[in-house]
Amino acid sequence: MADEVNVLALIKGHEHYIFVYDDASRPQLIDNFRDLAANPEVNLSWFDAMVLTTKAREQENVEATPLAQESGGGDQESEVRDQEPESAYRPRFSDS
């Protein structure tokens, strides 16, 4: 079996940030987000770094949580995949 990798992507206008990492390198990835946000030559804000860090930690929590065993069968994987995490970033717009 091949080693599993995780992918996080952020698209900001014409810029695309794609991070591919394994579980062991998650702490270094989060450090990298901080370093990129601190670099004035990179258009990655502190807010972007916070969102990416949150998503990386959510991926870790999902991986560490086994799927519930249901006696009725069914497609448990799609049920988990279809649920949006409560902490998902949702932009809010107002007319005022």
pLDDT, tens digit (0-9, with 9 covering 90-100), for 19-56: 999 999 999 999 999 999 999 999 999 999 999 999 99
Among the listed residues 2, 65, 5, the one whose alpha carbon sits nearest the alpha carbon of residue 29: 5
- Residue 87 maps to a domain: no
| Overall average pLDDT of the 77-93 stretch | 45
- Residue 49 maps to a domain: yes
Q: How many angstroms separate the Cα of 2 from the Cα of each of 9, 29, 67?
A: 22, 21, 21
- Residue 76 maps to a domain: no
What is the count of structural domains for the chain? 1
- Residue 1 maps to a domain: no
- Full residue range of the structural domain in which residue 52 is found: 21-64
- Residue 69 maps to a domain: no
- Residue 7 maps to a domain: no
> Which residue would you say has higher pLDDT here, 74 or 7?
7
Alpha-carbon distance 27 to 44, whole Å? 18
User: pTM, whole model, 2 decimals?
Assistant: 0.62
- Residue 4 maps to a domain: no
